[in-house]
Structure 1
């Protein structure tokens, strides 16, 4: 562990930061009531500056020390996983997870097609062969029926995947309990990409709990942000110990620098951990706010022909990190792109749902099973402004502009 800096000899310099000192730090600009409405901007609690100041005063700014340890402990409580490693990004967490699962060149890694590229990119960069499965229409996450069919076929051919990676989407957890049971039947490891679903549950369990490893993200647009960063969580202490070593350049416990393999510089700085710690304390409030935002959209857009919302199966409770609508022109809705452009012209940021991986040029030669559901969701799906700081008045502006798209 790095040695903290020496305590200053000047007694005034050793005192904790004062409120006056904090007032000298820059504060985020307030968004004017008629300003742009963003998709999911950071929502600060007002206590982040104090957390940063306390960490700076402690002398721990590197990826070590009490702030990082406290953040990991708090994440263990939030995720229901006893062992957590905080890292520099959600992508880093996934990369470490693949390393810990022993992914090697030529191994097959299966995941949902409807996801962000970071889910599969580290495995591909390690030489793995991606295979994309379609999603279930009642959850928009990995289809367990399709997975069972394909695992059975792969077992008969002797070509089972090395790992299956279900993806929690837009705050909605995949049906991990069922997926894990299927993979256990054939001895296939499961790693959950829970980057978008901290605080969600499935079958009463936190998102990611039950997988061998689960990866989380604290990017600026997430429900809890550290301005960046991620985490890898597990019930297996050995896996997290392995990941921790790899995240610290695989340095061996020796007075000199000893390495039996190569690793990465993936630690999370104490400054970001301090921000994340403050943010994490507000998680349940953030979930309540985003679910309320979804409720106002649901009520405010009721009755519009051809408009539907991302479903929430009865086995789950999502965070509604993003409210996502479906626009079906065949049922009287305007096209997704026409709506996106109309809202952009009004200063309202929206975004299509993820373009499926099987439609991405980078994976034109990858294997896939189905894909029609994911493709249809991409063609029709639009993510609406959902930041937990979105006021009812500003949300009403979004709703009014959306309704106007049906008026022509």
Structure 2
């Protein structure tokens, strides 16, 4: 069997080991430490705006802390994009709150501003004013932040940006993750850069960052003994993991360029295949890192479904994946309110993510292209 071509595999840059070794040499392997401080500074510089970053154990941890800092408690409601990974919605349940899901729009596949305002108005009319809005930059594509921010400001609801997939993406030249009250980043193994596992909370004040760090280190009071006046969490990033992140930050710009190159590869590949649409930016206002390149297959034109293509690729040991199954369709959230039409459902039915790694070789690209052409030539 051919060697496996992964959807999105880790890609080391070379200097990660240097920072990790420094941590071992200094015997600084616990949470906090020089690599954590350095990684946070590297991220702040890259985001190129006046933000404070707290490095954490996961993007999910960052979302949880953002909700806590927005005052979300048991019985509250939080609006969340439906077309996303479950980690965007699960922290709402951690807080004992209820997610209110909102449909996508066709241009960016992200939260539809029209459906968002409909949801806000209806929840307020029902006496359930939402405590926060979680908007996602899906697969690295920036959401329509001007419209979404205007609605959030109109109703005075804080935005939490799930930019877990969007490090390196910008909307109108501003970094994704810096628009809302909080931004969330992820460094999971399949992300554009990785720390093996990890995440970060992007804050706009030192006070918000300090609170996140306090809560993420078990909320220990300033006392010589262990004293706790608040519920805390073990969410801080380790100095070892942050060392990997520091090495990855040195090659982040190259990783973004390589992912965007893969998207261009698919644009060229499908240019002459009628009925397949590659997911690209709707205008020059949007700059996507194209963490994952995705397509929509119109079976009425191609005679082939998304699933036909996925299974054909799988036969050749090439990994691909359907788009995220919308949260309002998930059994665990079956009773949650939903606003919008069927855009997210149709995207899920017909969409496929294709191998997008920054470390794909020319030989692997040729294998992918050969198999895809084979499928659509039948």
Per the shorter chain, which TM-score range? over 0.9
Pairing 1:8-407 to 2, within 5 Å after superposition: 34-79=2-47, 80-314=49-283, 315-407=285-377
SS of the residue 1:227 aligns to: coil
Question: How big is the shift at 1:178?
Answer: 2.5
Question: How big is the shift at 1:156?
Answer: 4.2
SS of the residue 1:182 aligns to: helix
The CA distance in 2 between the partners of 1:166 and 1:236, in whole Å, is: 20
Question: How big is the shift at 1:35?
Answer: 1.6
Question: How big is the shift at 1:393?
Answer: 2.5
Distance 1:143 1:204, change over 3 A: same
Contact conserved, 1:307 with 1:333, CA < 8 A, in 2?
no
The CA distance in 1 between the partners of 2:203 and 2:230, in whole Å, is: 23
Contact conserved, 1:113 with 1:371, CA < 8 A, in 2?
no
Match in the other structure for 1:13:
none
**TM-score, normalising length: structure 1:** 0.90
Deviations 1:113-143 (A, max 9, x none): 1000010101112211111101110000101
Question: How big is the shift at 1:392?
Answer: 2.4
Question: How big is the shift at 1:195?
Answer: 0.4
Structure 1: state its 5+ residue gaps.
Answer: 1-31
**TM-score, normalising length: structure 2:** 0.96
Deviations 1:23-76 (A, max 9, x none): xxxxxxxxx9x5210000001112222221111112211111111000011111
Deviations 1:272-326 (A, max 9, x none): 1000011012111111111111111111221112100113122210001111011
Match in the other structure for 1:17:
none
The CA distance in 2 between the partners of 1:151 and 1:331, in whole Å, is: 38
Match in the other structure for 1:15:
none
Deviations 1:143-191 (A, max 9, x none): 1122123323444444321110000110112122321221111111110
Structure 2: state its 5+ residue gaps.
Answer: none
Structure with larger RCO (C-alpha < 8 A, sep 6+): 2
Distance 1:81 1:170, change over 3 A: farther
SS of the residue 1:177 aligns to: helix
Task: Provide the aligned length of Structure 1 versus Structure 2.
Answer: 376
Structure of larger gyration radius: 1
Deviations 1:203-241 (A, max 9, x none): 211001120001110000000101110000111222211
